[in-house]
Structure 1
């Protein structure tokens, strides 16, 4: 009866959580969704372009461009732009897949003359065309043929290639591959006057196997630009670092800058950038020393609208070295990037292969944009720059210093794919502070909202919008609504819906979205204009008389193998933490904690949350006591049956292996005895001399025949890991936690059979010798004498080049 009660409690908790997640989606009153059937089977949406005046959203898809009215998603129009059948067959004949030999629209940009410039992969032969916005049709020549031009350098060849582009003053700047094989990379001015179409130098010092992520055009303020600074384009990407002399390829995130008025050099760097500079972005958690080195998305926003100098870049990062899903968000200011670009250059001195700062730097400073001071010195154009300046910038595109930032937030078990940012100002007494709301799309079709106030990041919402197989690839915020897209679907939902927060405690963190709890109505609603509620007051309103810092201890009797979700509700925007048994298997869901029940998971779980005010002690929001229900029988039966079954298979395997070895030994002796009368001892000695000596010292990796055996099981910290993988709090997503509860895999073992049973005497947990070593060493010796195996060459051990 106790086990049934425990199962019932856990089921109710899990079901209530699932229902609450489902309710989160369904409770959005104005939610609208369009899928592939609504677009007549069109899919592979890759790019968004919004007309802020008309509210029309243009989507680039496979073989089509679609226009959708954001006010009413049911109003939509479509243009088909497909590849001719002959060209598609030619593409397939070159070794490409039938699916890739289509036209994937990767670029949509307004030209300012009532047209949209659209480019597609066009069966690995990029092409561009013009769309008339008023009639929403493709421009055609007088003879009726479609008006197209080459898209090489403007659009990638392959649908999955990383790519970014930005339009500045009607001129297109792109970062893309420039050849069919996808081995050449360019950051270029792709349109405009032919003589001014310039690109990067084909050198690994400039671009080393980059993965382009994002780009931004920063236009100087005409009224407040006393130095006459030029407009600039910034490109963000991840590339293989050349400054680290290591055996492994190290990826690093970069930001590169070029200037709008750059037209290349006269002799040196002809038709090449003379202002191309790049710097490393560092997103590092100093407390743990963890560095995130792969950039996946960047969102550009001005902290003070109308002031270009207040521009900040928010980036999503992952780690090259982490096996678990992991995401972090870092922010960089334009001021910090400019400071690094004006700093020292990095140089590789060939004599000692060390990176040093070069001296001296020629004048005028290499890589700088044209300004009033340079024009006064006679450098009205980059064509007039001296060769020594151009040679220096050609050889030194990388800056010595890095742009460093600490993560605003780190999430384990989550992979974020897309980011959008909104900023709100809130008052606190006489002071005003900025609240940043991160709208994050995941690779599992979810939308997360995170509020960042100072050093504190609070996860406000986790909204599952699409299926787990649809990663979010576009987020666009427009008129208090979020337009979220995947390769297959489009969804519109309100940015703020305070009715989702049903209690005062849940409503409190959403204050940064403009929500406030109204006690009279007992509901969370939009804050009235001109009225501000202090965070301290809001926290006090929720905690007044409710005793939330002294909750009762909830005892839960559970069985092994179950997963329990422990709830914790935080009022203030400050973080919460869980105190729990050290070896328990847990994963965070916002402030809630998921626990996989094992013998080490039993004990007390306490949720402690920091309150508003530095002098206040942490508040105990929740406390649970987990105890095993009938651990001697029921718990083992729940999850250990599979382990016992597998253990018997392992035992049978070992016994069969030993018996097979004995049988082979007997057969060998029997055959040797029959051959003994027909061969003399001298003949046997001559045969033995032709074979490798068994007395040659060998490396541990080739110590015996048993080192080639099939691995048996995992061994961690000196113990066989017979159940469960190592699980850290928040370290795995649901797929990793729930998969293979037995945790024992023959294919994924870390040590092979020779390392488990290597011929040396083992000491058991009680100090007794297991006695397996002698028998196996004798068996190895007999195996080494067998004619069919003695002549097998041993693999040589290569020394590392490091």
Structure 2
């Protein structure tokens, strides 16, 4: 197969214009990626409903599932919707809107009409047949009660909705970060508590009035936080010998105060409060006396990359009924990386408890350094009530001495961090939501644990990743929503996954080998005990009974014959010099891929793909060889390309070529005339200043101020692209997958141009055009260049000096720590 990149009749001097017109032609002629996503998603999911099916209701933000009945309650804009997960066509709706006068008052305060609606952000079961619902209510949060049996809002005698204030229970703004959890019928929230969104509280929002407590208004407690998730960990009543109190955990990202930097550094945190905490008697009145927080560290040790922004957390008990086996799976991104990158780390409750029981961090004023304070008063500050404390006479937090409460108020941060290594790291993908299922894989007489991560992206995709030991394997990438809406909710129930976006809802199978409909997808699920059965043409369990061995005819799990799988046809690519092409290599196994290429190539890696800059030396054959999942499997050739130079053709298109030369000549003439006008103006200005008797000083000032009066230009695209990013193969706990696998075309952006069938991927046309313009000399008559004059020469010298100074600046990728700092991020 051949792909011509340079249309015939285009000379090399027309290459910048050629690239621009070529990009426009591809935009017009290439099929719409979004339409492809819609076609793929139609066959990939089992059932989907959108906002049109809900009579125009949209902005779904909150999910509440009744697992016994299978009824799903959704909080939306001006409405609460109930959907039967067994049959998505069965739907009920409650309208809860804002009165018109209140809406107008909200707009008058400077808010948009779209935000001055009632966005339902909280839905929680009360345990008495009702649901507690709270909404933004035009920036005046209100809460109401939903009767589940009649699915209606409780009303007063005058037929108005029974409401109570939602301040501290629900955010004011629809887009504000927020989390809440119900613990024993009492609501615990982490939200903003004022109209401007500048005050943040973690509070007990319901229950007796005297027990409604919150965090201290101090940046040492909460510093511009972005709340992510919360979890209620209830102790086992039958197996709790020490009488430990129940605890509530909050996960968020905040601006760190322990790092003395010239920029704001975000840090992921986990905070803990105790259920029986009711505040102090004199110190910390109506404030938490058990609020402790610690830093979460998610660091890839192979590359040293640390992910410092937490976006979602999923809580999972590894042993049902045992709260001590709880693990928290978190999605992280990096504040410092300019490209999309996501990582998944997991933290055990045991590790978090050890850090909370460890040393405290304190700021030493002498050198502005954080250190471990001494001595720590007794009983230990922040400790939850247990049998030992009750024996000492501390039956309540009201009886704690002031020295303990004062220490607690000034030392909410722990010295140690909760450290984890990523289960997977992926570039070019932004994950938004996460759900986890655990399974045990049996292979003959051996059994091993496996974790399946169900990851939603900001482009409406669902990715399934299997983690077995230290290997992570990308098994599926499913585009779900035609409009590429971000995934904001994932619920797993009875073998089904309910995936939601702001305007759509999808139901699809969640587990089982039958999910993988192709041989290659089944091969990726091999670590889960799945094999492809050629006779049935389906993916099935390799072992169905304990002690059963894998049948010989299925144990190899070969997808087709060896020639089809490991001997792909060589794709010939006809390219032009200076172009950048991205050679695709589909990677199935978590093991790395290697490229074989000409020795004088100009290329760099993008995951398993290879970016090549076309030069005479880089022409030739390129071959991608990937290691297979099994150690005894030989390497498999996944892709092969041949780059050949497209020769310009002249003849029939002489008139068209001449017209293009005329356009280039006209533009060249325009720039030369503009340069001459600038030169004459500068020469006259200098002569007039020399005539005034101040030639020396004014001339020097003019040269100094001239560069600074112009806007500094950013580095050229060529210089940015020339900074090769080192590629590190990650084999332990890092995913080496790419966005396209198993024949699925995953649409990353509706404006991105690429050709998956031929393996050629064009980079951004603007980058190529800028690079061509930067790297090519502008030809012109010598007489015209000499006629620019002395003034233009000095102008050029000033700009060159400015360019040299700009070149010395390094791109900011991180922030150095202060001289007196002990910790590092």
Q: Deviations over 1:459-484 (max 9, x none)?
A: 11110011344111011111111111
State the alpha-carbon separation in 1 of the partners of residues 205 and 76 from structure 2. 22
- Indicate the residue corresponding to 2:603 in structure 1: 584
- Cα deviation per residue 1:501-557 (whole Å; 9 max; x = unaligned)? 455443122246664322432322356753577799798422499547993363221
Aligned counterparts of 1:232 and 1:77: Cα–Cα separation in 2: 36
Q: Does 1:658 align with 2:678?
A: no
Give the distance between the partners of 1:401 and 1:102, measured in 2 at CA: 44
Shift of the 778–659 alpha-carbon distance from structure 1 to 2, 3 Å rule, reads closer
The correspondence of residues 351-390 of structure 1 with structure 2, limited to 5 A, is 351-390=366-405
Do the aligned residues in 2 keep the contact of 1:299 with 1:313 (CA within 8 Å)? yes
- The equivalent residue for 2:644 is 628
CA contact (8 A) 1:34 1:491 kept: yes
Q: Report the Cα distance in structure 2 between the residues aligned to 1:110 and 1:645, rounded to whole angstroms.
A: 74
- Match of residue 218 from structure 1: 233
CA distance, structure 2, for counterparts of residue 250 and residue 415 of structure 1: 20
Aligned residue runs from structure 1 range 301-380, under 5 A: 301-380=316-395
Say if 2:189 is the partner of 1:170.
no
Give 2:12's aligned residue.
none
Q: CA deviation at 1:494?
A: 1.2
Alignment of 1:595-744 (within 5 A): 598-599=614-615, 600=618, 603-613=621-631, 616=632, 619-628=635-644, 630=646, 655-665=672-682, 668=685, 684-685=692-693, 688=694, 693-695=698-700, 703-709=704-710, 714-715=715-716, 740-743=764-767
> In structure 2, what is the equivalent of residue 120 of structure 1?
135
Distance 1:665 1:302, change over 3 A: closer
Shift of 1:72: 0.7
Q: Tell me the residue number matched to 2:500.
A: 485
- What secondary structure is seen at the aligned counterpart in 1 of 2:439? strand
**5 Å matches for 1:144-543?**
144-428=159-443, 430-496=445-511, 498-499=513-514, 501-511=516-526, 515-525=530-540, 529-530=544-545, 540-543=555-558
Deviation at 1:609, TM superposition (A): 1.7
How far apart are residue 605 of structure 1 and its match? 2.4
CA contact (8 A) 2:619 2:644 kept: no
Corresponding residue number in structure 2 for 1:134: 149
Q: CA deviation at 1:493?
A: 1.1
- SS at the partner of 1:43? coil
1:176 Cα offset (Å) = 0.1
Would the aligned equivalents of 2:679 and 2:789 in 1 still touch at CA under 8 Å? no
Q: Quick check: 1:241–1:251 contact (8 Å CA) kept in 2?
A: yes
Partner secondary structure for residue 556 of structure 2: helix
TM-score normalized by the length of structure 1: 0.82
Query: Relative contact order (alpha carbons < 8 A, sep ≥ 6): 1 or 2 greater?
Result: 2
Structure-2 change in CA distance of 1:205 and 1:576 (3 Å): same
For 1:632 and 1:81, locate their aligned partners in 2 and report how far apart those are by CA, in whole Å.
Answer: 67
Structure 1 residues 646 and 381 mapped into 2: Cα distance closer, same or farther (>3 Å)? farther
Native 8 Å contact 1:27 1:500 kept in 2: no
Distance 1:534 1:200, change over 3 A: farther
What's the offset of the Cα at 1:140? Answer: 1.2
Deviation at 1:624, TM superposition (A): 1.1
Query: How far 1:325 moved relative to its partner?
Result: 1.0
Contact 1:6 1:556 in 2 (8 A): no
Stretch of structure 1 that moved more, 154-163 or 348-357: 348-357
Greater alpha carbon shift after TM alignment, 43-52 vs 549-558: 549-558
Cα gap change, 1:536 to 1:449, in 2 (>3 Å):
farther
Residues in 2 aligned to 1:587 and 1:783: alpha-carbon distance in whole angstroms? 38
TM-score normalised by structure 2 residue count: 0.80
Residue of structure 2 equivalent to 1:61? 76
**How far 1:35 sits from its partner (Å)?**
0.8
1:75 aligns with 2:94: no
1:779 aligned residue: 792
Change in 2 beyond 3 A, CA 1:127/1:364: same
CA contact (8 A) 2:135 2:142 kept: yes
Gaps of 5+ in 2: 8-25, 728-737, 740-746, 754-761, 799-814, 819-825
CA distance in 1 between counterparts of 2:207 and 2:562 reads 68
Deviates more, 1:297-306 or 1:113-122: 297-306
**Judging changes above 3 Å, is the alpha-carbon distance between structure 1 residues 42 and 642 closer, same or farther for their aligned structure 2 residues?**
farther
Aligned ranges for residues 24-39 of structure 1 at < 5 Å? Answer: 25-28=41-44, 31-39=46-54
Displacement after TM superposition at 1:667 (Å) = 5.0
Is the contact between residue 112 and residue 170 of structure 1 (CA under 8 Å) also seen in structure 2?
yes
Q: Distance in 1 between matches of 2:591 and 2:156?
A: 62
Q: CA deviation at 1:269?
A: 0.5
The answer to whether the 8 A contact 1:535-1:612 is kept is no
What is aligned with 2:823?
none
Shift in CA distance, 447/218, structure 1 to aligned 2, threshold 3 Å: same
Equivalent-residue separation in structure 2 for 1:642 and 1:262 (angstroms): 82
Distance 2:664 2:548 in 1: 62
Measured in 2, the distance between the counterparts of 1:548 and 1:5 equals 29
- 3-state SS, counterpart of residue 679 of structure 2: helix
Q: Number of residue pairs matched?
A: 738
Contact 1:166/1:217 (CA < 8 Å) preserved in 2?
yes
CA pair 277-142 structure 1, distance change in 2 beyond 3 A: same
Which piece of structure 1 moves more, 447-456 or 496-505? 496-505
Q: CA deviation at 1:648?
A: 7.1
Query: Per the alignment, do residues 288 and 37 of structure 1 end up closer, same or farther by CA in structure 2, a change over 3 Å counting?
Result: same
The answer to whether the 8 Å contact 1:448/1:459 transfers is: yes
Contact between 1:3 and 1:629, CA under 8 Å: does it hold in 2? no
Alignment of 1:764-775 (within 5 A): none
| Alpha-carbon distance change, 160 to 19 in structure 1, aligned in 2, over 3 angstroms | closer
The alpha-carbon distance between structure 1 residues 83 and 624, as it changes in their structure 2 partners (threshold 3 A), is same
Per the TM alignment, residue 666 of structure 1 is displaced from its structure 2 partner at its CA by 6.0
Question: 1:417 touches 1:472 (CA, 8 Å); kept in 2?
Answer: yes
In structure 1, how many angstroms separate the alpha carbons of the residues matched to 2:553 and 2:297? 37
Determine the C-alpha separation between the residues in 1 that align with 2:224 and 2:681.
54
Residues 569, 640 of structure 2: 8 Å contact kept: yes
- Following the alignment from structure 1 to structure 2, what is the Cα–Cα distance between the partners of residues 322 and 694? 44
Q: What are the Cα deviations for residues 304-340 of structure 1, in whole angstroms up to 9, with x where unaligned? A: 1111111111111111111111111111111111111
The CA deviation string for residues 128-158 of structure 1, in whole angstroms up to 9 with x for no partner, is 0000000000011233221110000000000
CA contact 1:458–1:575 (8 Å) conserved in 2: no
Change (3 A) 1:727 1:350: closer
Please, which moves more after superposition, 404-413 or 521-530? Answer: 521-530
